[in-house]
Amino acid sequence: MTLALDEDLMLQVRDGAGEMLGVLFDRYQTPLFNFYSKLTGDRALSEDLVQEVFLRILKYRQSYRPGTPFRAWVYQIARNARIDHFRKFPPQSTLEPEMLSAVVPTDSAQAHEEVELLQRALQQLPEEKREILLLYRFQELKYEEIASLLGCELNTVKTRIHRALQELRKAFHQLAGGTVLKKDEAAAAEKFSSPRRSP
């Protein structure tokens, strides 16, 4: 059985088939939660923001236009929901480390330590750099989707991602104890920060 495209489901929601929103919720609940949790480090807030995204999808369903990539559209809503929340409630520095899921497989204590270092390094980045890396590396949005989302040129996106990856690598190296890294730690950093092909 062929799965319905997100765009087709959203058009049905727009035309009044509210039950199709449940299918989209099932598809996007976890990616959105991961996006928010890595960005904010707050489980409860992340859950609330995911709910807010789907309330907004329902509220603004008539604004969805045929041919608009749903994934980029929903992440635009997600970004706006977070921005609006923090306008009302300025963020507190209450990062919950357990919210930061693994970047590399945690097959051993060594790998687990490397994952924690990478996540701590990610949290040290300025918010805009952390966000663009999350969109690119974790949510796997294409360069074109991110450019549309951020309202900037394609080359600007590539430059921002490159600079954010450089800063992440630098922060990781510092956390790992200076510029001389154990071979495994260096490999872990490279695994995360090596360029991902944009489909």
pLDDT, tens only, 161-172: 999 999 999 998
How far apart are alpha carbons 139 and 133 in whole angstroms?
9
Least confident of 56-60, 76-80, 175-179, 185-189: 185-189
pLDDT of residue 121: 86
Confidence of residue 107 (pLDDT cuts 50, 70, 90): low
Exposure string of 118-142, with b = 16+ CB inside 10 Å and e = fewer, is: bbebbbbbeeebbbbbbbbbbbebb
131 within 8 A of 149, measured Cβ to Cβ: no
Which of 146, 139, 190 has its CA nearest to residue 168?
A: 190
d(CA 75, CA 148): 11
Give the Cα separation of 27 and 6 in Å (integer): 9
Domain with CATH 1.10.1740.10 in the chain: 6-88
Q: Which phi and psi (to 5°) does residue 196 adopt? A: -100, 130
φ, ψ at 165 (rounded to 5°) = -65, -40
CB 161 within 8 Å of CB 136: yes
- When pLDDT is cut at 50, 70 and 90, the band that residue 71 belongs to is very high
CA distance 9 to 146: 22
Parts of the chain belonging to CATH 1.10.10.10: 109-193
Residue type for position 110: Q
> What is the pLDDT at residue 104?
42
According to DSSP, residue 176 is labeled T
Q: What is the C-alpha to C-alpha distance for residues 160 and 165, in angstroms, rounded to an integer? A: 9
Determine the pLDDT at residue 185. Answer: 53
The confidence score (pLDDT) of residue 96 equals 44
**What pTM was estimated for this model as a whole?**
0.70
Cα gap 8→141, rounded to integer Å: 19
Contacts of 91 (CB under 8 A, 6+ apart): 40
Among 174, 162, 90, CA closest to 132: 162
**Which CATH number, 3.40.50.12280, 1.10.1740.10, 2.30.290.10, 1.10.260.40, labels domain 6-88?**
1.10.1740.10
- CATH of range 109-193; options 3.30.1050.10, 3.40.50.10420, 1.10.10.10, 1.10.287.130: 1.10.10.10
